[in-house]
Chain A
């Protein structure tokens, strides 16, 4: 699923907010309702007042009742009275049964108070006869809902604030956890720990952040490889340069001493040529490895290329017998003649070198699949099976190669492989049953050229 993270963040946010709105509304209504009732103790006080009024009224002591009312009004800073209600139906109408039992002039103490009215309501405490009432404006001190504004503030501001902050913190931690791991990994990588990887630390999680972790891992893999390759290349290269440099040094000393000058000057020139080709090959190798270029701009005829390389080989190894079987034409496109020429030249020169003088080298080119198969068979010693892949590693030389070719530097086949791969081809080596090594190369006849 794409946009996993979006849905993961969406769910708690949307559901949480909806739930919050619902809870706040519900709690608000509920609290307001609960807070609208007169407190139990005040209800009792009001009822006691009613009882006192009724008692005084029943005793017929109107003077005492008046004094008591006066005193109550003064004490509670309110209005109080004892009144008689006398509902008289007019124009032939009748009173309903409810009115015969008695009716109310004010509010029952057990009823809710409308808190949105600023004026306090009149409380009605009817006497037993049903027609006499003790009426009192609810004293301010008994008005319920004193803390309603604070409670409302709490409910509508503090609660959502707290819940949303909690939600934000959960989301923050959910996002920051992996990001922090990535940050730590990046720092470790920049400090030289090339082996650091992040994806495994994320466990079963799977979203955009794990995709980022995978990308980081791929980057770390490639960059780490490159750095290691570069380090190895530089180490190998400087090591390989030491030998010819020392030989030049020695040769120069000999010339200075006047020993065999005729012999040593060509030696110095040869060493220079060797170092030059070593540096050039190492740079080309580094270029191919670092840039991984796709070489696809040239069209060429493999037969022409092989003709010219073989002509040079025949000149260089006049005692060898090159059996060549080429088609009249073998055109390929989307390739690189320079890369192919160097690769093929290296492979053919190797074959000539390891084949003893007078031996045969078979070179064959034939169509295969969507391209051409080039095989080069020599009559050399072959390569031990476990070294068959190693010979394509830069600066790797078999013991045989070290003995046979002190001038070589072990870059030829490494370069050849990368060059052949850069033109979309393949190269591998195998031992022949009858002895000798077969180098087998395949080149695509065409490649889609990217726009």
Chain B
């Protein structure tokens, strides 16, 4: 093992395309403000194209998150009209600290905070009470946490159980959690049938989205398979390793 900070290289154009396609796909499931804030995130990312060799922060702040429309208990897969449970919406915010490549911005290096926060809130609007919260993170940077490189945490904000703030585990392994992939995850959870139906068809945004996610997931799953096959110890423990700086680069 080395103490060198873990980093993750990302193709800048792919990041733009991933955002563009999810923005088109997710539109019917977002509030007006949510959609607007996703557009703002797109503009913020586009600016980085003109900022070579700089440390930049890409952020949708938690005070102004991307909010989904109301899920009328569509997180259950019961027949329409038979869903029970509170009506909730998702609020996604994220912060990614990265460095842009020199001269021409073709890549960014994720090397600081890389965290996406998801809150599920009861009812609608900014004042809706938070029912649950989790973070989907990438373990990059000098202060990278132990555990799976791509993980979910349920950090408490109080000292009381069940998730007291003093205990940072479990870090549950997850797919490469770009903010865009996290958004799809939330929409898929909140709108079980509707989202699946929405993305189970052809179309340019979906084709673009599919190709990028296929590349990310297949690359990660291949690495996981290699880890399992080559280990002489416990396979599960080796899945916590660092998958490499170029894991999500095209043609890697």
Whether A and B are associated in the same complex: the answer reads no
Which B residues are within 8 Å of any A CB, using their own CB?
none
